[in-house]
Copies of this chain bind each other. A is one copy, B any other.
Amino acid sequence: MKIGIADTNFAWVDMASIAIGIIKENSKHDIERYTVPGFKDLSVACKRLFKEHNCDIVIAMGMAGGASIDLQCAHEAAMGIQMVQVEESKHIIEVFVFQNESDDDKELFDIAKNRTEKHTLNALALLKGKEELTKFAGQGLRQGKEDRGPINLE
């Protein structure tokens, strides 16, 4: 199978390299990479990875600045990604990191790394079938931070 990696120059962490490392450690899938200027360009990169490069799934990585206009742009990027994945019937695992998640560079890097690693494993799982992740259903898993865990009523 083939995994697409779409990433940006705008991001200030090279998340794609982290994702590629995880894929290579855990599978023998082929990888196609597509780098664009910013996250609003990811939708076309994803579509081309599906249509021209026959990817079975794409991991789309981006980072958003901290102003409210940046969140609006993130929304537009995410809507473009929804359009593509619905049209193609194939998953695009969106790995977005927001500057507002931390004021500290080290912490933001750790969030980006953790989110990328966990979501890359999610992509690998989704390639195995629709119930591969069912064992974790409703378990309060988180990417970028500690798992929340399920509500425990006892």
Contact = CB atoms under 8 A, between A and B. Distances in A.
Interface of A: 7-17, 32-37, 40-41, 43-45, 47-48, 51-52, 69, 71-76, 78-80, 82-87, 89-94, 98, 100, 105-106, 108-109, 119, 122, 126, 130-134, 136-143, 148-153
Contact of A80 (B16, B82, B90, B136): B82
Given A12-B140, A71-B72, A75-B76, 12 more contacts: A17-B137, A17-B138, A32-B130, A35-B134, A37-B143, A47-B89, A48-B89, A69-B71, A73-B78, A79-B82, A82-B83, A105-B153
A117 to B, nearest CB: 13
A144 B126 CA distance: 30
20 contacts: A7-B137, A12-B149, A13-B150, A13-B151, A14-B137, A17-B137, A17-B138, A35-B132, A35-B136, A37-B126, A44-B90, A47-B89, A48-B89, A48-B130, A79-B79, A80-B82, A82-B83, A105-B151, A106-B151, A109-B153
